[in-house]
Amino acid sequence: MTGETGKSDTWLLVSDIDDTLTGNRTDLERLWHQLKNAKSHLKLALNSSRPAASVDQTLADYFPEGFEPDAIITGLGTEIRLDRFFLESWQSRFIDWPDEEVRKIVRKLGYDAHDDKFQTDGKASFAVPGKDGVDAILAALRDEGIPFRHIYSGTSDLDILAPGAGKDAAMRHLASHLGIPMERTIAAGDSGNDLALFEAAGKAIAVGNARQELLSTLPRHKTYLASAHHAAGVLEGLTVMGLLPQSAV
């Protein structure tokens, strides 16, 4: 699929998974039923900080039978899949980024990397409790001349990314590949690592259970603050935006 296939009236929903879509299976089934009926004008991409294998397990164990998004962005924007295949135009960007060297540097500073299943080409993830530790790691990486961007979320999750990676960058690349302008993209999420996604998207939905780390920094002029939690909040937001029928709520 190329940019030529996009339609000017098509929207792209890019939604976080954990605690955004997950949390209530009945509401997730209701949302999926509505999204299936809206496929002519609304495409769905999942966007998770976890790598592909971990997300696939969640889809198999938790999501409704037959659930099939149009695309899946994983590894905090370091992986994009369409039709079960990785998008080579995106994956090739991270081949030369020294993720293993980043992990060695951080381990020498005394911090544990997350399990291998949470690591990808272009992303190195660690448990770092406290801002002082984060500052020391970032300084060490700069001293080594390694280009990077970083996201610190929750109480200890530090993700070091290749400079061209990120949920927002992956969304832009996917939207361009599908021929959908950024002003017709909608981000949905619940935590601080969704902030860049919210800032890049044309519109955004913060679910009712969103963390304060996101609520205190999100772009309020284009974000709908849902009262419902998890998938019901995404459904509420899409309905208010007029992309799903009012009867869906």
Q: What are the extents of the domains in the chain?
A: 3-92+165-248, 98-161
- pLDDT at position 155: 85
pLDDT at residue 8 in the model: 61
Q: Please check whether residue 95 is in contact with residue 71, taking contact to mean a CB–CB distance below 8 angstroms.
A: no
Question: Which pLDDT score is estimated for 49?
Answer: 83
- Position 87 scores a pLDDT of 95
| CATH architecture of the region 98-161 | Alpha-Beta Complex (3.90)
User: Which pLDDT score, from 0 to 100, does residue 248 have?
Assistant: 44
Report the alpha-carbon distance of residue 29 to residue 85 in Å, rounded: 25
Residue 209's pLDDT is: 98
Angle at 87 between CA 150 and CA 120, to 5 degrees: 35
* H or E stretch at 143: helix 131-143
Q: What is the pLDDT along the chain (249 residues), one digit of tens a residue?
A: 334 444 468 999 999 999 999 999 999 999 999 999 999 999 999 999 888 998 999 999 999 999 999 999 999 899 999 988 999 999 999 999 999 999 999 999 999 999 888 888 899 999 999 999 999 999 999 999 999 999 887 789 999 999 999 899 999 999 999 999 999 999 999 998 899 999 999 999 999 999 999 999 999 999 999 999 999 999 999 999 999 998 644
Q: What angle do CA 83, 204, 211 make, to 5 degrees?
A: 105
Helix axes 99-108, 131-143, angle to 10 degrees: 130
Fold of domain 3-92+165-248: Rossmann fold (3.40.50)
Cβ atoms 46, 73 nearer than 8 A: yes
Which pLDDT score, from 0 to 100, does residue 117 have? 82
Compute the radius of gyration of the chain from its Cα atoms.
18
